[in-house]
Amino acid sequence: MNAIISASELASALAGENPPVLLDVRWQLSVAKAAGEPPFDGRAAYAAGHLPGAVFVDLDRELAGSPGADGRHPLPDLAEFGAAMRRAGVSPARPVVVYDGGQGWAAARAWWLLRWTGHPDVSVLDGGLTAWEGPLATDVPAPAEGDFEPVPAAAGLLDADGAAALARSGVLFDARAGERYRGDVEPIDRVGGHIPGAVSAPTNDNVGPDGRFLPAEELGARFKALGAADGTPVGVYCGSGVSGAHEVLALAVAGIPAALYVGSWSEWSSDPSRPVAVGPDPQ
C-alpha cells in the first residue's frame, strides 16, 4: 500500500473494479489577516468543483476536537470521527484516497487518522486537486453508508511527555517553518520556540515547487541526514497536528515509520511549566 497516489494512478483506480472512496478535505490554516479578508471556506471551494464522487470532510469539525488545553486541533471524539467516515462511505474493504487543494496538510491529517485507527488502505493524492486533469463535479453525492469502525493503534501517537522523552531518546522533528522553530516569530501560539531537543525539519522542504513529494530516495536521505538513522524511533510535531501529519506522510513515503504528537506546539506552549528552547540549536 502506497501512502501517496498520482493523478494518473487515481484515474486508473477509479475505473477499476473496486474504486476508492474519495474524501475532499480542503482547508487552510486560519491566522490573523488584513481586516475584511474573509476566511477560507473549504465547503464553498468543494461546492465550486470537486473530484466526481468525492465527499467533503470538515477538518475542524470531523478530524479534530474543539480547541482547548489539548491544542488547536486535538484528536476528535473517535465515535464522532467514525460516524463521519461512515457517512462518507468509508469501509475497510474499499481503498480511500484523500485530497485537498494542493498543500497536502489537511489530506495528510485525514490519512493519518484513518491509518492510526485501522483503515488498511489509505493514500493521499500527490499534488492535490491541482494535479488532477480530469473533469470536476458540483453535485453532492450520497454514498452508501460505510462500515468503518475506528480502532486506535497502540503506537503512532505521542503526548507531551512522550514527545519530550523522544527528543532525548530518538529524534523528534519540528515540521514548522524555521522562523517559528527558532522563536523569531510566533503568529499564533502563546510563545515562540521549540521543544528542547527537537530538530528543525520544515515539512515544506519535503515537496517540490509543484507541491508534489520529492522522490522517496531524496526524502530518505534528508531525514537520515537529520538524524533518522536505521532503527531510531522518530516522532513529529508542528503547530497543531496538521502540517506534522504531512511530515509523517513524507516519512512514510521514505519508508520511515513515525509517531505524531497531535497536541503539538499549541498544546506544549500553553503550559508555562513546560520548557521552551529558542534559536537554531535543538537544546
Beta strand extents in 201-281 (DSSP E only): 234-237, 259-261
CA distances from 118 to 4, 79, 283 (A): 17, 14, 35
List 7, 238, 248, 256, catalytic entry:
238
Smallest CA-to-CA distance from 172 within 187, 161, 180 is with: 161
How many residues are given for the chain?
283
Look-up: residue for cell 507531551? 160
8 Å CB contact between 115 and 122:
yes
Cα dihedral 79, 85, 91, 96 in deg (nearest 10):
-140
8 Å CB contact between 23 and 100:
no
Task: Reply yes or no on whether 238 is catalytic.
Answer: yes
Q: Which residues are marked as active site?
A: 238
